[in-house]
Structure 1
């Protein structure tokens, strides 16, 4: 039984080989295959170009995002918080009050 299965597979393989030879002998089919191959190469090249452009754009945007993050962090560290402003306003008010008292004493 195993021999029959092996023989059957060999017969299928030979039939497939004969079909392939017949296909390759037909010039129209060969030309069609060559045209398909050329179209494939063109499409592949176009896809590689598109991928390269997209990858470059992504890298550019990543750089811009990082620059924005750095600017945001610099702005955050250089700004004074509301609590600090309140303290400074209070100190300024006290100093102005002292200055006014000194001006009144001088008069």
Structure 2
């Protein structure tokens, strides 16, 4: 039974080879095959160029995002929180009130 499968595969392979030879004998088919190959090379080159361009753009955007994050963190570090601002405003109001009291005592 193994011989039958092997013989069948060999016959299919021989048939495929015969078909391929028949195609390659026809000049029109060879010319079409060469045109397909040239189109493939052009398409592959175009895809490689696009890939390089997209990869470069991604790297640029990653750098910009990193710089933006750093600026955001720096701004957060330099910004006084709302709660802290309210505390400072209350202290300022108290000091202004004390200043008014002292001015009234001086008068």
The equivalent residue for 1:53 is 53
- Structure 1 stretch 42-51 or stretch 17-26: which is displaced more? 17-26
Describe the superposition over 1:59-83 as per-residue Cα deviations: whole angstroms up to 9, x where unpaired.
Answer: 2112222222111111111111122
Over aligned residue pairs, what C-alpha RMSD do you find? 1.8
1:7 positional shift: 2.9
Unaligned runs of 5+ in 2: none
The equivalent residue for 2:87 is 87
Q: How many residues align?
A: 107
The equivalent residue for 2:76 is 76
TM-score normalised by structure 2 residue count: 0.84
Question: Which aligned runs of 4 or more in structure 1 are off by greater than 6 angstroms?
Answer: none
> In 2 relative to 1, CA 96–34 (structure 1 residues): closer, same or farther, beyond 3 Å?
same
- Structure 1 stretch 78-87 or stretch 36-45: which is displaced more? 78-87
TM-score normalised by structure 1 residue count: 0.84
Unaligned runs of 5+ in 1: none
The equivalent residue for 2:6 is 6
